[in-house]
């Protein structure tokens, strides 16, 4: 119990203190007009209040991610608390804030455009493919799950439910952001918040004993924490998917000072939600062994449904069904919208991105492969979503490092450089070790991952020295 409460307090304190450090590194200026006013196309660029932006951002980046991922991450034991707290404050918050604010700085630019600006044209072309693959995989993965439940609780067949879900995706992706997303997301956002608060309250005040972090129970499982925990719990700590979603909200912001509340604040909010569900997973089933059996029997959806129904009664069961249906859908629709925006930005030199026909055509072209992938086993898709997701996060952190160095803020590069090196170690080791990667021996994977990360570290140091030399020359010339 003490570890759980302390973790939530640390997240709140992290927002109050460290988010201001991150904001200072960016250097906001509310006298600059935001793209919501300078572009204002009535489609993606529409001024909205910061609290709506926060709720949209929270739902975009959360969905079932901090619930399913946190419950699966609970298998690693109380060490998951450390990763969520440290990851959200020092990695995820930095990642999300800068992905949103750099988009704002460059007229609502999409993630690949930002990568190209700070890491070069080759990186931009490469990341367009990676981003689109991630968006299509997420759209597909967040379709099959709710479709299966819809087929169970309605007369619809599984295929019919998929058609219904994709019909909503399509409509949501082609309509102005304030028509559907701006109106219903705050309501759906309330669902995920109410569920988390209610489960958290029952854990704290009910007859439950949340395990504390000790040396003996830090990690009771057999799977290696490094790097699997950092890929299993992404939403709630750091997730590259967020960098593709932040531009949706950056195009609606009224002033730059709202960024800390919207982007960093939503990441901390997601961290709190992840903490609650991770604690519930460790506690409700009597330990990681019971949780593992429950996951094997009913999957994440079954586990969430059982915990919600037992801990919250009939209301909890209704909320669980709503969450398992609604929350993934509200991630899938913005994933499709983001992929449409990425493609249209990439080809804007050759087509008119403001034409309704262009919007519809791009949505159909990107929605088709996602629709087809949703017909296969979506648990298979998640094996590839996790790794691709964290590669994207790592790239975004290196973009932030490049931005800070190029802007002459070398004193602040560490706020992104340290988590970037950490995540470089995660993704290199993961893809050498994981079954969907090279599937090598764990010890060999650690050696290779460590060597690659050290090589990146040397390149990082070289760039720091180079920028210091440039700054010194400029100072002499002045």
pLDDT the model gives residue 302: 79
Residues, the chain, total? 478
- Does the pLDDT at position 247 exceed 60? yes
pLDDT the model gives residue 212: 80
Nearest of 15, 35, 65 to residue 277 by alpha carbon: 65
pLDDT tens-digit series, residues 267-288: 999 999 999 999 999 899 888 7
* Pairwise pLDDT comparison (32 vs 235), residue with the higher score: 32
* Pairwise pLDDT comparison (32 vs 325), residue with the higher score: 32
pLDDT tens-digit series, residues 235-246: 889 998 899 889
Give how far the C-alpha of residue 185 lies from the chain's centroid of Cα atoms, to the nearest Å.
17
Q: What are 85's two structure tokens?
A: 């707290």
Q: What is the mean pLDDT of residues 260-266?
A: 96
pLDDT the model gives residue 216: 59
Q: What is the mean pLDDT of residues 351-375?
A: 78
| Cα 118 to Cα 123: distance, rounded to the nearest angstrom | 9
pLDDT the model gives residue 122: 85
pLDDT the model gives residue 379: 60
What's the mean per-residue pLDDT of the chain?
A: 85
pLDDT the model gives residue 458: 96
Q: Give the per-residue SS3 of 408-438.
A: CCHHHCHHHHHHHHHHHHHHHHHHHHCCCCC
pLDDT the model gives residue 444: 96
pLDDT tens-digit series, residues 339-362: 888 888 777 666 666 667 778 888
pLDDT the model gives residue 474: 64
pLDDT the model gives residue 239: 92
Q: What is the mean pLDDT of residues 12-34?
A: 94
Q: What percent of the chain has pLDDT over 90?
A: 36
pLDDT the model gives residue 37: 94
pLDDT the model gives residue 314: 82
- Does the pLDDT at position 410 exceed 80? no
pLDDT the model gives residue 159: 86
pLDDT tens-digit series, residues 56-82: 888 878 766 778 888 888 888 888 999
Cis omega before residue 227 (within 30°)?
A: yes
Q: What is the mean pLDDT of residues 127-143?
A: 80
- What domains sit in the chain, N to C, each tagged with a CATH number? 2-380 (1.20.1740.10)
pLDDT tens-digit series, residues 166-219: 888 888 888 888 888 878 877 777 778 888 888 899 999 988 888 887 655 555
Q: What is the mean pLDDT of residues 395-417?
A: 89
Q: Name the residue with tokens 């019919």.
A: 160
Q: What is the mean pLDDT of residues 4-33?
A: 94
Contact 64, 327 (CB under 8 A): yes
pLDDT the model gives residue 93: 96
Q: What is the mean pLDDT of residues 323-351?
A: 78
Contact 363, 336 (CB under 8 A): yes
Q: What are 10's two structure tokens?
A: 């640390």
pLDDT tens-digit series, residues 113-122: 899 999 988 8
Q: Name the residue with tokens 């019909």.
A: 167
| Cα 124 to Cα 199: distance, rounded to the nearest angstrom | 42
- Does the pLDDT at position 475 exceed 70? no
Q: Name the residue with tokens 């913005």.
A: 334
Q: CB-based contacts of 131: which residues, under 8 Å, 6+ apart?
A: 110, 111, 112, 244, 339, 342, 392
* Pairwise pLDDT comparison (376 vs 466), residue with the higher score: 466
Give how far the C-alpha of residue 472 lies from the chain's centroid of Cα atoms, to the nearest Å.
38
């Amino acid at each position: 119990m003490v570890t759980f409460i302390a973790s939530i307090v640390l997240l709140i304190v992290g927002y109050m203190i460290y988010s201001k450090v991150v904001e200072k590194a960016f250097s906001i200026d509310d006298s600059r007009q935001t793209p919501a006013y300078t572009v204002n196309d009535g489609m993606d660029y529409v001024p909205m209040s910061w609290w709506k932006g926060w709720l949209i951002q929270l739902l975009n980046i959360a969905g079932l991610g901090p619930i399913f991922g946190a419950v699966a991450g609970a298998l690693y034991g109380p060490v998951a608390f450390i990763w969520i707290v440290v990851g959200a404050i020092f990695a995820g918050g930095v990642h999300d804030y800068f992905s949103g604010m750099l988009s704002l700085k460059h007229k609502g630019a999409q993630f690949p455009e930002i990568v190209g600006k700070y890491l070069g044209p080759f990186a931009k072309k490469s990341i367009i493919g990676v981003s689109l693959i991630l968006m299509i995989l997420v759209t597909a993965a967040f379709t099959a799950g709710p479709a299966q439940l819809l087929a169970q609780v309605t007369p619809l067949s599984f295929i019919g439910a998929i058609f219904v879900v994709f019909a909503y995706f399509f409509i949501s992706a082609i309509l102005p952001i304030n028509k559907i997303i701006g109106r219903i997301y705050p309501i759906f956002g309330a669902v995920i918040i109410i569920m988390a608060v209610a489960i958290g309250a029952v854990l704290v005040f009910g007859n439950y004993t949340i395990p504390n972090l000790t040396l003996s129970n830090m990690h009771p499982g057999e799977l290696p924490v490094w790097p699997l925990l950092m890929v299993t719990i992404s939403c709630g700590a750091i997730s590259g998917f967020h960098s593709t979603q932040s531009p949706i909200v950056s195009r609606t912001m009224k002033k730059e000072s709202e960024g800390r509340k919207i982007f960093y604040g939503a990441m901390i909010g997601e961290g709190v939600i992840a903490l609650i569900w991770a604690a519930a997973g460790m506690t409700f089933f009597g330990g990681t062994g019971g949780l593992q059996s429950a996951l094997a029997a009913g999957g994440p959806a079954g586990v969430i449904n059982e915990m919600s129904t037992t801990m919250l009664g009939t209301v909890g069961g209704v909320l669980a069904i709503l969450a398992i249906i609604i929350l993934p859908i509200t991630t899938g629709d913005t994933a499709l919208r983001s992929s449409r925006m990425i493609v249209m930005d990439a080809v804007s030199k050759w087509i008119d991105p403001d034409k309704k026909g262009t919007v519809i055509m791009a949505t159909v072209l990107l929605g088709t492969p996602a629709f087809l992938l949703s017909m296969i086993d979506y648990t298979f898709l998640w094996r590839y979503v996790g790794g691709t997701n964290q590669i994207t996060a790592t790239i975004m952190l290196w973009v932030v490092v490049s931005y800070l160095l190029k802007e002459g803020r070398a004193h602040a590069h560490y706020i992104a450089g340290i988590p970037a090196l950490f995540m470089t170690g995660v993704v290199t080791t993961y893809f050498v070790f994981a079954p969907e990667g090279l599937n090598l021996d764990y010890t060999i994977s650690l050696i290779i991952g460590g060597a690659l990360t050290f090589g990146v570290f040397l390149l990082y140091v070289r760039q720091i020295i180079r920028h210091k030399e440039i700054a010194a020359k400029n100072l002499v010339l002045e």
